[in-house]
Amino acid sequence: MMEKKKILLAVSGGIAAYKAAPVASKLYQSGYEVKVILTESAQKFITPLTFQTLTRQAVYTDTFEEREPSIVSHIDLADWADLVLIAPATANVIGKLANGIADDMLTTTLLATKADVLIAPAMNVNMFNHPAVKKNMETLAVFGWRFIEPNEGLLACGWIGKGRLAEPEELINAVHMYFKEKSEDQIMPLSGKKVMVTAGPTREELDPVRYFTNHSSGKMGYAIASAAKKLGAEVTLVTGPTSLEIPSGVQVERVISAKEMFDKTISHYRDQDIVIKCAAVADYTPVTVHSNKFKKKNDTWTIELKKTDDILKALGERKEHQILVGFAAETENLEDYTKDKLVRKNLDMVVGNDVSKEGSGFGSDTNEIIMIKKDGSIRPLPILTKEQAANEILEEVMEMMKR
């Protein structure tokens, strides 16, 4: 390795703690500098001396054991790490970190670090599937922390299912891959650029059981966010309600209504280099939102609607250095409506698609698009997968960046 990368291995208290020993050993042998934190519970399964011997480094177990008066140990350790690997990560530790609890050496250090974090969960299958644990893991994913999925099989508790800590080789490969990606990011075309993508539908509440929405699945926006991340960008995904998996390494902001999407998008806008507004945002929202379920009374029900704030127009009015891309989902006169949106909303490019066409509508895995840019150029594309379309869109954006 060109330079020694610094790995902080955080070991929490589960039977899988024994697997952390070969991980520490192999990482050290691979040329990494490795330091280890053990929780009090982890020490019931494996001793600090084991890791001290394998890493040639002191092992950290107590927040209040300050070995050097000139530093605060958990802050120094947090600043030292290039990458943190939590293996195994118990439900307890995941819960603490997701909720900002810092009551031991591991949690105080992890809440203080600015390094990226890889989390390798290990626990009983029922614990792993518990809604509270799932929510905590989702919270950490929102923070940008990445997960190394546990394996399925016979667990130490006797249950069979998902919850076994990934094997040492898998954990080591995850570390290798992380640094490989970081190295590639330094030469990737969007390295150092901030990209914000909006995706999915919004929901406009009418009463506690009813809302207005649309058919957007979010697939196109998620594909763009994923492609931008692979090109080295720092990506923020502002997403309405979808069932899609968040692309790895992408910061996510979840919203429900058009108002929430407006507020969240505007709050991130100034810092962005590229903004691609792919979300299908409601144009209207109910004037009256009923606090209780509206009961059936008459043969008809008239609902008064009011316009929502136009997110894309607001972004165009606030545009400074950003490249701003919008989407136009139409069912007729695609080129004319797309050109009109480009001018009215002060955009750099509009991606238009006819959602009435087979294979190009909401929810499909493909898209047939036309890209119209501010310079007047028009580029139609045949039906592509949404991943292919995402790459083509970003290619056009990168061309605009060169000018």
Joined tokens for residue 185: 């990011």
Note whether residue 327 is domain-resident. Answer: yes
| Predicted pLDDT of residue 159 | 80
**Contact at 8 Å (CB) between 218 and 244?**
yes
115: phi then psi, degrees, rounded to nearest 5:
-75, 155
Question: What CATH number corresponds to the domain at position 140?
Answer: 3.40.50.1950
Note whether residue 140 is domain-resident. Answer: yes
User: Beta 323-330 vs 274-277: how paired, if at all?
Assistant: parallel
Question: What CATH number corresponds to the domain at position 200?
Answer: 3.40.50.10300
Question: The domain containing residue 107 runs over which residues?
Answer: 6-185
User: Is residue 345 a known part of a binding site?
Assistant: yes
Note whether residue 54 is domain-resident. Answer: yes
Note whether residue 1 is domain-resident. Answer: no
Specify the 3-state DSSP secondary structure of 166: coil
Question: Can 157 be counted among the known catalytic residues?
Answer: yes
- Domain identity same for 132 and 254: no
- Domain identity same for 144 and 202: no
| Predicted pLDDT of residue 65 | 87
325: β partners: 276, 349
- Domain identity same for 202 and 169: no
- Domain identity same for 132 and 250: no
Q: How many CA atoms lie within 13 A of 177 on its CB side?
A: 12
- Domain identity same for 224 and 264: yes
- Domain identity same for 110 and 69: yes
- Domain identity same for 177 and 200: no
- Domain identity same for 84 and 160: yes
- Domain identity same for 152 and 126: yes
Indicate the residue among 168, 185, 202 that finishes a domain: 185
Indicate the residue among 150, 185, 220 that finishes a domain: 185
| Predicted pLDDT of residue 1 | 42
- Domain identity same for 20 and 111: yes
Indicate the residue among 185, 207, 231 that finishes a domain: 185
**Contact at 8 Å (CB) between 164 and 202?**
no
Rg (CA), the chain: 25
- Domain identity same for 77 and 101: yes
Joined tokens for residue 245: 């998996």
- Domain identity same for 295 and 380: yes
| Predicted pLDDT of residue 10 | 97
Number of folded domains in the chain? 2
Per-block average pLDDT, block size 10, for the chain (403 residues)?
81 94 95 96 96 96 86 91 96 96 96 95 92 92 89 79 89 92 75 95 96 94 95 95 90 96 96 96 95 90 95 95 93 90 95 84 85 93 92 95 82
| Predicted pLDDT of residue 186 | 61
Query: Catalytic residue among 154, 157, 160, 177, which?
Result: 157
Q: How far apart are CA 114 and CA 309, in angstroms?
A: 36
